[in-house]
Amino acid sequence: MPYDRKLLALPLALTACAALAGCGGSAESATQAPRTAGAERTGAPSGAQANAQATGPGSGAIPAGPPRKVLPLAGRTLVIDPGHNPGNFRHTAEINKKVNIGTNRKECDTTGTSTNAGYTEAAFTLDVSHRLRDLLAAQGAKVVLVHDADRAFGPCIDERARIGNAAKADAVVSVHADGSAVGNRGFHVILPARVQEGGADTTKIVGPSRSLGEKLVARFGRATGTHPANYIGSGTGLDVRKDLGGLNLSTVPKVFIECGNMRDPKDAKLLTEAAWRQKAAQGIADGIGAYLKG
């Protein structure tokens, strides 16, 4: 829930021998010697022969290897923002301090939600983020994690936005799971609203963020076999909000994805399965890839 990836080169002597009908053979056998390539007829090496000679022992040249495969996300920088932090619940005073989100002030962070059995949103988001990082890195992307549970709490929502901005990310995805009522099922992607107020200006990122969100909805549903939320977004899987500091303060394309509802037993069953979380990570990776292809 938001709070805010050689030809053997025929010796030249053979040609000379044929012309002189010598070299130990009869004139007839010499003149009937096969004449294969035009280059051999003139005494000049063929292209294949020249290459073999140029790269042979003692030539000093290094044979050309197979062409290097270009990975699809090479040169791209992607930021993954795992929602919340497993340590937040031990630092309620710190995360309750308010920070500037451009339009107003809001709490630094929250603890997030959990399933009825106690599986926390923070644990879920970190697991999916690790899987997503590996998928994106395997495609050549530079991947930045906003945090890796390597700090006691947070980071605060304003700092999360700054990390993506500083990385000059091609895209930022904040990973979450919702905490809605039983019966509310499915995933949705939260897009930034057009905001120009105080320190917030989302004018330049509204369009590309929507494109990113639309690609995520399509690819996430395909990879996980789940549907857009039945309780928000009118079945589109998209929700636009202006109250999230992580979006308001972003200067690069950014969205939040709510992968499912942890408070619904059927969704919770999926969210707690490692195999499904891998599908979720794959769906997000596919969505990002589709967005970057344009």
Measure CA of the first residue to CA of the last residue in the chain; give whole Å. Answer: 28
254 forms beta bridges with: 172
pLDDT, tens digit only, all 294 positions of the chain: 664 433 333 333 333 333 333 444 333 333 343 333 333 333 444 444 444 444 445 556 666 777 778 899 999 999 999 999 999 999 999 999 999 999 999 999 999 999 999 999 999 999 999 999 999 999 999 999 999 999 999 999 999 999 999 999 999 999 999 999 999 999 999 999 999 999 999 999 999 999 999 999 999 999 999 999 999 999 999 999 999 999 999 999 999 999 999 999 999 999 999 999 999 999 999 999 999 998
HEC-encoded secondary structure of 19-78: HHCCCCCCHHHHHCCCCCCHHHHHCCCCHHHHHHHHCCCCCCCCCCCCCCCCCCCCCCEE
175 and 187 Cβ atoms separated by less than 8 Å: no
Which tokens is 12 given? Answer: 């030249």
273 and 216 Cβ atoms separated by less than 8 Å: no
173 forms beta bridges with: 80, 255
Q: Within the chain, how many helices (H) and strands (E) appear? A: 11, 10
Question: Hey, what's the torsion of the CAs at 190, 193, 197, 199, to 10 degrees?
Answer: 40
Task: Give yes or no: 258 in active site.
Answer: yes
d(C-alpha 275, C-alpha 194), whole Å: 37
Q: Which domains does the chain have, with CATH numbers?
A: 12-54 (no CATH), 77-293 (3.40.630.40)
- The helix/strand/coil state of 87 is coil
The CA-atom distances, in angstroms, between 66 and each of 58, 74, 283 are 22, 19, 32
Bond into 155 cis (ω within 30): yes
Which tokens is 228 given? Answer: 């857009």
Relative to beta strand 196-197, strand 200-201 is: antiparallel
Q: Which of 40, 121, 214, 258 is catalytic?
A: 258
Rounded to 5 degrees, what are φ and ψ at 101?
Answer: -110, 20
- Which single residue is written with the structure tokens 């789940």? 226
197 forms beta bridges with: 200
Q: Model-level pTM?
A: 0.79
281 and 5 Cβ atoms separated by less than 8 Å: yes
Residue 15 identity (one-letter amino acid): T
176 forms beta bridges with: 258
d(C-alpha 53, C-alpha 7), whole Å: 10
